[in-house]
Amino acid sequence: MEKQGLLFIPDISGFTRFVNEMEIEHSRLIIQELLEILVNANHLGLEISEIEGDAILFYKFGTAPELKELYQQVEKMFCEFHSSLKAYEYHRFCQCKACTSAINLSLKVVTHYGEFTSYQVKDFKKLIGKDIIVAHQLLKNDIDQHEYWLVTKSLVQHIPISKLTPWMQWDSSTKQIENGAIPFHYTQLSQLKNEITIAPLPQPELSRKVKVISVSKVYDIDIIPLFHATGDFHYRSRWREGVKAIEAVNHFLPRVGMRCRCVLENGQEVLYSSSYSYQPERIEFSETEESTNNATYYLLEKTGDDTTKLTIDFYIPKGLLTQTLFKLRKQNKVETIFKKSLLNLDGLVKELKPVNSVKEDT
């Protein structure tokens, strides 16, 4: 039975405050997505013992890896973690506290080599041993900043002069536990975030399209809750006429580039989020249907302290035949669907905030 191996724990910094102070639904989805990114970034062949809320206990029995190999794994997880956060910050739709503060989350990694073994409880493999306790205790230390890599002296006695990368600066400390002091080295990883670049947001592609429908309505509600009602796919079936459900295809949370399967009463279509622009007084976003390239543009404009105008514009690809057929066969039906949708949305808005009256402008 194996009794020695590597313990590798990536831990999300800021998790407790994030979960306690933010909306639970989106904070849960954000953490779920980040943990999956860490699992997918595992290229050392590490096994998972437990996922502990904000941390993953990876392990690997056998000889300890070289420091350079360990660093490559740490770097991959750290960069993919922050690439995801930065991309979400640039591409997200949601303005809730969880989504706007997710960018403040970070990652620290504790690596330790020691004695432990495993045991089976039905389908679950658990780890036991004094060094499991040591590894967890090392997460509670006196390091000021919380995006670092910690390496115990069980893995490396002396940090190489090369320091693995030119910017890396190492410090040393100890962790006092019941059985004595555990010496360790650590280095900050913040520099890696400066090397992460994110593709710019796609711009609206209207030059090859023509607007064929435009409907609007003013609601007695602030712009942000109205945006949640219209932009959050969880609400879509409650107000969009003919929509039975929306199923996310490639992301948990709404963002530019996400693809969703729209289940209609007469079939289904795949949409993707094609653009987004946010200002406190004005929010724009669009969705494009993959098969037809038809696009729906949503414009929300703050018109008062608690009033917001929503305009929905529908575009189809330019072309004399396409435009003529749409006008003859579909325009009246599609326009009726959008107008009914605006009325349906009024019902959802009343659940979000009591209203006295709703003005109409179609």
pLDDT of residue 121: 82
pLDDT value of residue 359: 43
The two three-digit tokens of residue 320, written as one number: 């004399």
Q: What number is the average pLDDT over the span 13-18?
A: 83
Least confident of 56-65, 262-271, 286-295: 262-271
Label residue 204 by pLDDT band (50, 70, 90). Answer: low
Mean pLDDT score of the chain = 87
Q: What is the pTM of this model?
A: 0.77
**pLDDT tens-digit map of 71-128:** 999 999 999 999 999 988 888 888 788 888 899 999 999 999 999 998 888 777 789 9
355 pLDDT band, cuts 50/70/90, is: very low
- Three-class DSSP category at 95: coil
Domains and CATH numbers, the chain: 4-195 (3.30.70.1230), 209-352 (3.30.530.20)
What is the model's pLDDT at position 322? 93
- Whole-number Å distance between alpha carbons of 127 and 49: 7
pLDDT per residue as tens digits for the range 116-145: 998 888 777 789 999 999 999 999 888 988
pLDDT at 2: 63
pLDDT tens per residue across span 133-188: 999 999 988 898 889 999 998 888 766 656 788 889 999 899 888 777 899 999 99
Contact call for residues 54 and 15 (beta carbons, < 8 A): yes
DSSP 247: E
At 356 the pLDDT is 40
Among residues 75, 95, 71, the alpha carbon closest in space to that of 83 is found at 75
**Contact between residue 56 and residue 38 where contact means Cβ atoms under 8 Å apart:** yes
Q: Three-state DSSP class for 324?
A: helix
